[in-house]
Amino acid sequence: MEQTLDYEKTLMAHLSDSRLDKTALKKYSKIIATLRKYDVIIDRIWKYGIPYPDGVVVRGRLGVKDLAKLKDVFKIPEIYGIEIFPLGIPFPDLLDVRFKLGEQFQK
């Protein structure tokens, strides 16, 4: 539990921006920490949107065998986009996954 809190604090420091609402920032960092519980290996996180950050993109990797674990991710309302691309030819063993987090489409 304490590792999760430390991870969320580190994420908040990484994503902090004067133009990004603190409640949204906290929500995003909590969602990203939740993704780690689904065995998603986080590679990169960045803000998107000009001039105001509209949201966050999280890129990571997931084992093909762990894909079924993501079914609960679709219940998180702040995740409005997921892109999945297989890695490894001819038999993929990993998936490149990108999650788009934001609230602009929820209204």
Q: What is the pLDDT along the chain (107 residues), one digit of tens a residue?
A: 556 667 777 777 777 766 677 787 788 888 888 898 889 999 998 888 877 778 889 999 999 999 998 888 888 888 989 999 999 888 899 999 999 998 654 44
Number of structural domains the chain divides into: 1
What is the domain extent for residue 38? Answer: 2-102
Whether 42 is in a domain gets the answer yes
pTM comes to 0.81
Tokens of 76: 């998180």
**Which domain CATH number covers 82?**
3.30.1360
Kindly state whether residue 97 falls inside one of the protein's structural domains: yes
Pairing relationship of beta strands 55-63 and 94-102 according to DSSP bridges: antiparallel
Please report whether residue 93 resides in a domain.
yes
So what's the pLDDT on residue 104? 58
